[in-house]
Chains A and B, each alone.
Chain A
Amino acid sequence: MAKYLLLKHYRGAPTPPNDVPMDRWTPQEVEDHITYMNDFAARLEGTGEYVDSQALSPEGTFVRSDGEGRPPVTDGPFAETKDLIAGWMIIDVEDYDRALVLAGELSAAPGAGGEPIHEWLELRPFMGSAPTVTE
């Protein structure tokens, strides 16, 4: 088994086809989207492939050491490339192909008009496992 991190981004990735902000969806569309996400997580719990998922607030701060006692803090190096992460899900799956399938499913959560939002997800293997070698 291999662990993968599915990163959901606020922005920074190419604009997906169905890019309508969530607050302009109908209440039913919001409901369907949340239900889809919950069902997805519940299903992976059922197959034993779910590890963890968390949502992150959009506010982030960039910090780096700038010598003793002076951590410079900025709102971001370049506003237009700021790559904010909205949340993540960790899955523990058989192999890379399975991780790809699940990431595709998660990305197809319904949005405006009930159409998949096709959001970009970043799929990252955890270190310490050989992602493509089946056990």
Chain B
Amino acid sequence: MDEPLLRELTPAVIGVLVRRGVDFATAEDAVQDALLQAALTWPDGQPADPKGWLVTVAWRKFLDVRRSEVSRRTREQRVEDEPPPGPAGSADDTLALFFLCAHPSLTAASAVALTLRAVGGLTTRQIAAAYLVPEATMAQRISRAKRTVGDVRFDRPGDPATVRRVLYLVFNEGYTGDVDLAAEAIRLTRQLARTAGDEETAGLLALMLLHHARRPARTAADGSLVPLTEQDRSRWDTALIAEGVAILQAALGRDRLGEFQAQAAIAALHADAPRAEETDWPQIVGWYDELLRLNGSPVVALNRAVAVGEADGAAAGLAALAAVDPAVPRHTAASAHLHEKAGDLSAAARLYADAARSASTLAERHHLTRQAARISQALRG
């Protein structure tokens, strides 16, 4: 049986049922039943139009449920409700399902879980494992999310920016256990890019591919962080980089710049440097300026200050950093790095130690503690 094909078709089939007015939870149950039937009968011969087959079977499953719920009076209605024969429609329904799962009425955590379940076709157990929560907790979260969007009608298109944000959240969860959420986010973004076809979705896909390409080099065997400048660049995945750059260039060529395209451009410039010293920092600063224009977030301003430090020297970097809100995460770490670069080692050692105390992951804390220890040792001579 063709499992990847089934996972690919699932959101579109749910989308068809939702478009026909079936509420989300019932539609998903009906499609699950249809998938079960596919698992039983497809080994004897896959239908010529798998999606049409699934839609028809899911619709019948839905009607079965509805028939038992409603009385026999409505039975005559059934013939009228039967789906029209012939191949199923376009892929727009998948897009509708993306919008539904990223609906603004959902919290970010619920939107992510629902997207993985309905669009990604992951099991509740897999999603729970990826987020290190008990399966019952995740099941509750998903069914509450389904109830929340149960009454939502699709009379107008949703916001693509929200869908992209949800997919980026999935990507940044990384991976734990048997489900690689980064790979899953890339798969879903590819799917969205095929149906939505806009520049920013292409930009998001390029950004994910470029980040993902560096993953093998980002952590050492013992799980410790390897900073960009020290990564073994021969371990970067050149095929992914080439694909990300090609997608990005096509998107940039359409001259509708957005945040994800600008971020992908920065990632592409890093990926393009054969050695850390050959990084084109002035151009990276230029892209940070664009990014700051599109989204004046203090996180972007912080990253820009670090890039300025590389392009124009530590003093310029520290001046840029002085304009950034000190409460931004990693502000202290960036300051430590720039002070070290400026030769102020005692300040750098103190700042690295401060930054280690407020680090958000153990790997980051260990990394910053090592930096503090390294400089303290240099100071002692």
Contact = CB atoms under 8 A, between A and B. Distances in A.
Interface of A: 21-27, 29-31, 34-35, 38, 55, 57-59
B358 A23 contact: no
Nearest to B354: A23
B366 A34 contact: yes
Contact of A29 (B352, B357, B360, B373): B373
Given A29-B373, A30-B370, A31-B370, A23 B362 contact: no
A30 B373 contact: yes
B357 A27 contact: no
B350 to A, nearest CB: 9
**Main secondary structure on chain A at its contact with chain B?**
helix
Given A22-B373, A31-B370, 9 more contacts: A22-B372, A23-B369, A23-B373, A23-B376, A30-B373, A34-B222, A35-B222, A38-B222, A58-B357
B373 A26 contact: yes
B248 to A, nearest CB: 36
A24 B373 contact: yes
Contacts of B376: 23-26
Contacts of A55: 362, 365
Interface in B335-381: 349, 352-353, 356-360, 362, 365-366, 369-370, 372-374, 376-377
A26 B377 CA distance: 6
Nearest to B357: A58
**Main secondary structure on chain B at its contact with chain A?**
helix
A12 to B, nearest CB: 17
A23 B366 contact: no
Interface residues of B, number: 20
Contacts of A57: 358-360
Contacts of B222: 34-35, 38
A72 to B, nearest CB: 23
Contacts of A26: 373, 376-377
Contacts of A58: 357
Contacts of A31: 370
A30 B374 CA distance: 10
B352 A23 contact: yes
A59 to B, nearest CB: 7
Contact of B356 (A23, A29, A38): A23
A30 B373 CA distance: 8
24 contacts: A21-B353, A22-B356, A22-B372, A23-B352, A23-B372, A23-B373, A23-B376, A24-B373, A24-B376, A26-B376, A26-B377, A27-B370, A27-B373, A27-B377, A29-B373, A30-B373, A34-B222, A34-B224, A35-B222, A38-B222, A55-B362, A57-B359, A58-B357, A59-B358
Contacts of A25: 373, 376
Contacts of A23: 349, 352-353, 356, 369, 372-373, 376
A55 B376 CA distance: 24
A51 to B, nearest CB: 14
B369 A22 contact: yes
A102 B377 CA distance: 32
A121 to B, nearest CB: 18
A26 B375 CA distance: 9
A3 B122 CA distance: 34
A58 B360 CA distance: 10
Contacts of B224: 34
A31 B224 CA distance: 11
A93 to B, nearest CB: 24
Nearest to B359: A57
Contacts of B362: 55
A55 B223 CA distance: 15
Contacts of A30: 366, 369-370, 373
Contacts of B365: 55
A35 B224 CA distance: 11
Nearest to B379: A24
Nearest to A112: B373
Between A26, A27, A30, A34, the greatest number of chain B beta carbons within 10 A of the residue's beta carbon is seen for A27
